[in-house]
Structure 1
Amino acid sequence: MLKDLASLIVKHTVPSRRHLTPELVLRLVTPECPLWRAKEDEIPFKDPFWAFYWPGGQATARYILDNGELVKGRRVLDIGCGCGAGTIAAVKMGASRVVANDIDPYAIAATSINAILNDVAVETNSNDLIGTKCEEFDTILIGDMFYDEEFANVLFGWLQGVRGEGKTILIGDPGRHGLTEKRRQHIELIAKYNLPPESCIENHGFTETSLWKLK
């Protein structure tokens, strides 16, 4: 099954370095791909979020690549890994263990493909880990997941609970409505980046992205 998913992903994506982390080559849907302009009934995937390099994920991976000591020797969990950039960055920067987690099997396949492209080995997990204690991890990466208020409420409550167990929680987000002013009182801004032109086009108006740390 994974092989079939991988073949479909490769067919509809292209390798790209036109993003905040050009050190990483990632198979993505870009404007030159037919899928970019396809109508809904022509798209062979349901909600292919993994096919785009979202702003929060770019901020997370960029910061890790620039500050490798943040993850070196640590056990990292990348929740909602998407294309796998955060996972790959953490592996490259010397994390002792990195697990790419996503409930979408296409995201798991895309992450595996991109890991191979970047000459790293990754561990994947397709279970829904939100709500679990995740005791075996020191660092949790969250990118672009505050898009819905109801889900954001569940997600943020869970993150605050596991933070009490001594974990580092990093949240990449360009300013979505789910990361409310009230929630921002509990996080610390640690980096802000201007998105490159290609990423601005792909992300419908976002020109900046940020990385936050749960206090």
Structure 2
Amino acid sequence: MIDKHAFILENTSLMRPPHVPEIELHLASEAHDLWLKTQEELEEIGLPPPFWAFAWAGGQGLARFVLDHPLAVRGRTVLDFASGSGLVAIAAARAGAACVVAADIDPFTETAIGLNAAANGVSLGFRGDDLIGRDEGWDVVLAGDVFYDKGFAALLVPWFEALSARGATVLAGDPGRAYLPKERLTALSTYTVPVTRALEDSDVKQTTVWRFT
């Protein structure tokens, strides 16, 4: 069985995402070293696609918004859904949230998020189970870059709408993914976020933070 802690430390370096330089994360130093492995290579070492090893544009935009608008989370209970590296969760903790839970079903993320939380001196809870459709009373739900797949988006939209309808603040950071339900959203802020061309189709992504209404 792969040692997740050792693997992450061996394949990443502490870096500051360009749009959120206040935060340090263990990220892949070269996209080609990790992301561009074939599916067969990833399966051979027991590694799902390593979304946690990169600071995606949607997450950077949402983390920037949270740090710039701390009242959105201060003193509140926060769920960072599909947390990946934990970037948005760390931003929420830095901004004064009362309690932050990072949730992701990828088995590597608990270790990655733990390392990143420690690097930034914050305490985060973690959930590795599937929370879609559930409501545990969170005040704020944050989701960075989650509308990239049609089926996944079809599950998320009614869940986010239900959370919003009962009074939760649901914020999504999105760089123009295909399945973003714009008709259900209100734009709050837009950022120009530098990204890795090996992962995206450009050097920057216009990223908007949206609120479910």
- TM-score, scaled to structure 2: 0.91
Q: 1:88 aligns with which of 87, 90, 104?
A: 90
Which is further off, 3-12 or 120-129?
Answer: 3-12
The correspondence of residues 159-174 of structure 1 with structure 2, limited to 5 A, is: 159-174=160-175
Partner SS, residue 105 of structure 1: coil
Partner residue in 1 for 2:199? 203
| 1:105 Cα deviation after fit | 1.7
Look up the equivalent residue of 1:51 and give its one-letter code.
A
Partner SS, residue 191 of structure 2: strand
Structure 1: segments with no counterpart, 5+ residues = none
Query: Aligned-pair RMSD on alpha carbons?
Result: 1.9
Partner SS, residue 197 of structure 2: helix
Partner residue in 1 for 2:11? 12
Give the distance between the partners of 2:158 and 2:49, measured in 1 at CA.
Answer: 25
- Are residue 53 (structure 1) and residue 55 (structure 2) matched? yes
| 1:141 Cα deviation after fit | 0.5
Give the distance between the partners of 1:32 and 1:79, measured in 2 at CA.
Answer: 24
Structure 2: segments with no counterpart, 5+ residues = none
CA spacing shift, 1:138–1:113, aligned 2, 3 Å: same
Look up the equivalent residue of 2:9 and give its one-letter code.
V
| 1:14 Cα deviation after fit | 1.1
| 1:134 Cα deviation after fit | 2.4
Give the distance between the partners of 1:61 and 1:80, measured in 2 at CA.
Answer: 14
Look up the equivalent residue of 2:85 and give its one-letter code.
C
Which is further off, 78-87 or 29-38?
Answer: 29-38
Give the distance between the partners of 2:189 and 2:6, measured in 1 at CA.
Answer: 36
| 1:195 Cα deviation after fit | 1.5
Which is further off, 83-92 or 24-33?
Answer: 24-33
Partner SS, residue 124 of structure 1: strand
Give the distance between the partners of 2:199 and 2:31, measured in 1 at CA.
Answer: 15
| 1:30 Cα deviation after fit | 2.9
Does structure 2 retain, via aligned residues, the 8 Å contact 1:53–1:83?
yes
- Are residue 99 (structure 1) and residue 95 (structure 2) matched? no
| 1:40 Cα deviation after fit | 4.4
Does structure 2 retain, via aligned residues, the 8 Å contact 1:14–1:33?
no
| 1:67 Cα deviation after fit | 0.9
Does structure 2 retain, via aligned residues, the 8 Å contact 1:134–1:162?
no
The CA deviation string for residues 155-195 of structure 1, in whole angstroms up to 9 with x for no partner, is: 1011111111100000011011111xxx2121111111112
Identity %: 38
Number of residue pairs matched by the alignment: 208
